[in-house]
Amino acid sequence: MAIQEIISERLRGLQVRVGQGPGQTKYLAFIKHGGYVKTWKRAKQIERELEARFGKRTRHLVGRMTKKNRSGLPGLRFEWRQYSGQIPYLYLVGSYSDANGECHTFCRSVEKHGFDGALNDGLSIRKKHGTPPISFDDAKAAIWQHYLDVSGIHSKEGQK
């Protein structure tokens, strides 16, 4: 969403955002721009101007790779989790944004579902919520080395 309402102790207004770089955001205070309705109209106008200047925000085809993502597959990674003194378990952890732009996460136990089952579930959950589909074989090829690194399993080729 390019226009967000900002309400805090000191701020009351709208934030127009078309990107993350300098000049790609603009804050409009309700009191300065003549109230709620006039500020929304001005925000829509500024949104069109910023989109014309910087381009419209688009969704990435498969997802975006962040600096912290070491899995090779956007939105999916393996991690160890431990609950209340139990043995740590390896989970496939995934994330996606729904139609409203809200972020959600899910996890699948590798012990319970197996590697293939957990990965297949993760891909289907992300696909169901609008992320572009990726084939199971391509996803497995992209994330397999990350799985080996996190799980502590070393491939037989590496032991020779």
The tally of domains found in the chain comes to 2
Query: Which single residue is written with the structure tokens 């497995």?
Result: 140
Residues 83 and 47 in one domain: no
Residue at 18 is within a domain: yes
* Domain limits for position 100: 76-159
Instruction: Give the 3-state secondary structure of residue 109.
Output: strand
- Does a structural domain hold residue 69? no
Q: Same structural domain for residues 154 and 86?
A: yes
Residues 94 and 152 both lie in one domain: yes
* Residue 99 and residue 30 share a domain: no
Tens of pLDDT along the chain (160 residues) come to 588 898 988 999 999 988 767 778 899 999 999 999 999 999 999 988 888 888 776 555 445 556 666 777 888 888 888 888 788 889 999 888 877 778 889 999 999 999 999 999 999 998 888 877 888 998 888 888 888 888 877 654 444 4
On whether both 144 and 81 belong to a single domain, the answer is yes
